[in-house]
Amino acid sequence: MTESTKLPSGQTRINSLEMRNITKRFPGVLASDHVNFDVKSGEVHALLGENGAGKSTLMKILYGLYHPDEGEILLDGKPVTISSPTDSINLGIGMIHQHFMLVPTLTVAENVALGLPSSRGALTDLDRVSKRIIELANIYGLKIDPDAYVWQLSVGQQQRVEIIKALYRGAALLILDEPTAVLTPQEVDELFVIMRQMVKDGHALIFISHKLHEVVEICHRVTVLRNGRMIGTRPTSETTKQALANWMVGREVGFAPDRGTTTLGEVRLSLADVKCGSDRGTPGLRGVSFDVRSGEILGIAGVSGNGQRELAESITGLRKVTSGKVYLEGQDITNLPPGEITERMLSYIPEERMRDGMIKDFSIAENMVLREHHKQPYSRYGFLNLRGIATHADELIAKFRVKTPSRETMAKNLSGGNIQKVVLAREISRNPRVILAAQPTRGLDIGATEYVREQLIEQRNQGAAVMLVSEDLDEILALSDRIAVIYEGQVMDIVQRENATPEKLGLLMAGVHPEDAAPVVK
Amino acid sequence: MITELFSTTVLIGILASGIRLATPYLYAAIGETFSQKSGVLNLGVEGQMLLGCFAAFYVAFTTGNLWLGVLAAMIVGAVMGLAMAFVTVNLHAQQGISGIGFYLFGLGMSDLLFQRLMGTVETVKGFQKIYIPGLSDIPGIGEILFNQNILVYGAYLLVPIAWFVLNKTTLGLKIRAVGENPDAADSLGVSVAQVRYFTIILGGTLSGVAGASLSIALLNVFQQNMTSGLGFIAVALVYFGAWKPVGVLGGALLFSMVNSLQLWIQVLGIPVPSDIAVMMPYVLTILVLVATVSRVRAPSALTKPFERDE
């Protein structure tokens, strides 16, 4: 049997790509330490590792963004030099970045054509580009309108644009950097269908993900990296989620944190038909009502941009509520200044921890007293009590196991996980009545994620009312006692954890009530 | 006396000089549109214009050749643009601050050169009105639109050219992409630095021409600080015009018409304090910007230096 060497897109396939002994040093860090990695036509090879394990470094080397200090890259057995993204594109390598590399104000066709020579010289040839996009879209089953503006597209559609962009440039090998992080479960399924088709057609795919069940589901082989070193490569059929997790972290890790026991208490936070606007002037919340009780975690599930930010900001006083009421322990706090809401012991772990959670150029000690700096023992008569601040910082650094050279280290020099620990320490150590956690583990590695989740459960078990906003369905399911699904600024439904399945939540997240959905034909 | 304002002759006069006075705004603001579209705020326009004013005037005055004057202004503007590009692209300077630096440099340098090389205010015979058979003879319209000098026509011609380059060429696509999401452009092999160098130098060159249009086509003299804030208004016009050449044209016309009106008010001796009259275009700048600022969205990467992550 002779296999065609051409892909359906007309490109020559890449039979094998091998990275040998790749070493990359940054000042003070060995980011990649003699790593070997290879991928073949017709397979999905997962690259697994915690933040800072060296996955991105390795892929940036393959894509020509970094240059290795040692090692070589072989394409179909022949050594190649990749010194820029242009080189890698010319070799048939494409990359789907975690943060989409799209220009929202341009159309799909313009995004695809960007940087490519035009068949009309200095003039654009968008009509021809559009035609080719439609061709490719038909071959690979990626429905897309070439004339739509990217800002009009859903996240899933934007990802398709990224895939088309790579295919248009003749990608035979695709690097997918955490492609499922921003998708609904249904969109993930659609992506997997596309990936399976591509693999069948002879493409080679590299799949980077934190989500172990996805790795096990879609990948043929998996390579684990830890601290810049390669731990090993195995067929996924010979491994399990638990084994992979332990391998990746280097110790036993628990997936579903032990939720312990809790007693449900009085209503601490209550929203009654809350409405507010969004930054774009459109309605942000269209009448949201729910209660959060002492001793429970209410999960807010939903696809990014459906009102989560507005919800958190309405409660914390950062956004004006246009109608409806917010009650904290029975008292009306609607549109109170954020400072007064804080005083009533509402703690907030913001989504953008680097922007809203701390001041990058302040020390850890200073960041830890941001909320309480005007009170004793951190200050008196308007003068800071540096000793009090220092003692407080040292205590919290020890208690929350923040990895830092000293309490005077500037926040911006910490890793994402440790920054979150600083925020968590500040917000939790004041024994809040209500905790509002927005995307508390986004971008954190497994170790830090585990820690943050344990702390939230600990707070719930001690009687705090916790509202958890997360786009990660696994997290919602692992932590919540009840789950509210938000869609276009409205709560679609609130379900008990026991009655929630990813499928049911996925439909709600897409704005469909499960009872209205057409029966699935299997 | 107010009624005099509404006589046909005066109205034609106001409109004709309004059309003419838009010239420096157009060159400078279209140039600035290019650099802002690529994500660079060049506040040094005023300084580039002043040096352009002087270079054009001095070269035209000493050689007697107006086109050499324009060329000199373009070169001076381009060199200023090159310096601005180096400071913003390579050194990642704060664009607002470095722009003010370039403005002050242009202000001081043009005055110094004037003192050293000329010393006294001179005049040149600038670009003359071009008579277009037929068109120039149309009553009213002819006087307003077709009785202008070559630099005025050039300025208006620049508007469709700029629109075409930005929207219909691969270069324009790159400029727009670099100003909105430089990371995306970079990941596709577009050199953010190259694009920005191009637009900043182009902006400088056009600012130079804007200066030349003042000193050898409209006013035909050189005086210290003769632009008196015109370059800053050009920057504001880019915001007003929502980063579109046609919008910039509208803004430039609005301001030059108001300017023309206040000049005529003074010429006719209408009893409005001249300070108030002179203030009008500037007050209008502020009002218009306040009114438009929330309506339009600037290029996302405007004023942000580009650097690859880690």
- Please answer yes or no on whether B189 and A122 come within 8 Å at the CB atom: no
% of chain B with per-residue pLDDT over 90 = 66
Cβ <8 Å between B189 and A124: no
CB within 8 Å: B185 and A95:
no
| Interface contact flag, A114 B168, Cβ < 8 Å | no
Task: Give dist(CA B162, CA B158) in Å, integer.
Answer: 6
Interchain pair A114, B169: CB under 8 A: no
What is the predicted pLDDT for the residue at B171?
Answer: 96
Please report residues of A whose CB lies closer than 8 A to that of B184.
Answer: 100-103, 111, 114
Q: What is the tens place of the pLDDT at every residue in A483-507?
A: 999 999 999 999 999 999 888 998 8
CB pairs under 8 A between A and B: 70
Topology annotation, domain A254-345+431-522 = Rossmann fold (3.40.50)
**In chain A, which residues have their Cβ closer than 8 Å to the Cβ of B185?**
103, 114-115
**Where exactly are the structural domains of chain A?**
14-92+172-252, 102-170, 254-345+431-522, 355-429
Side by side, the strands of the sheet bearing A267-277 are A283-293, A267-277, A321-328, A331-332
Encoding tokens for residue A430? 């004041």
Helical (H) or strand (E) element with A466:
strand A465-470
- CATH H-level, domain A14-92+172-252: superfamily: P-loop containing nucleotide triphosphate hydrolases (3.40.50.300)
pLDDT at B175: 97
**Measured between alpha carbons, how far is B48 from A82 in angstroms, rounded to an integer?**
41
CB contact under 8 Å between B187 and A110, yes or no, is no
A201 residue type, one letter: D
Q: Which residue has the tokens 């507005």?
A: A310
State the nearest Cα–Cα gap between B303 and chain A, in angstroms: 17
Residues of B in contact with A97 (CB under 8 A): 187
What is the pLDDT at residue A4? 63
Residue numbers in B near A116 (CB within 8 A): 170, 188
* A289 close to A486: Cβ distance less than 8 angstroms: no
- A65 versus B178: the higher-pLDDT residue is B178
Angle at A52 between CA A50 and CA A58, to 5 degrees: 100
| Of B172, B174, B181, Cβ closest to residue A102 | B181
Task: Please tell me if residue A134 touches chain B, with a CB cutoff of 8 Å.
Answer: no
Positions of chain A with pLDDT under 50: 1-2, 520-522
**Chain A residue with Cα closest to B177:** A103
What pLDDT digit, counting tens, does each position of B26-55 carry? 999 999 999 999 999 999 999 999 999 999
Q: Which two tokens stand for residue A196?
A: 């399976």
User: Is the pLDDT assigned to residue B243 strictly greater than 90?
Assistant: yes
Q: Compute φ and ψ for B295, nearest 5 degrees.
A: -80, -35
State yes or no: pLDDT of B118 exceeds 70.
Answer: yes
Question: Taking CB atoms and an 8 Å limit, are B170 and A86 in contact across chains?
Answer: no
The ipTM of this complex is 0.86
CB-based contact A85 B180, cutoff 8 Å: no
Contact criterion met (CB < 8 Å) for A106 and B174 = no
- Distance between CA A378 and CA B210 in Å, rounded? 58
> Would you state the pLDDT for residue A445?
76
Question: A interface mutation test: which of B180, B186, B187 has the most A CBs within 10 A?
Answer: B187
Domains A14-92+172-252 and A254-345+431-522 agree in fold:
yes
Mean residue pLDDT across chain B: 91
User: What's residue B310's pLDDT?
Assistant: 44
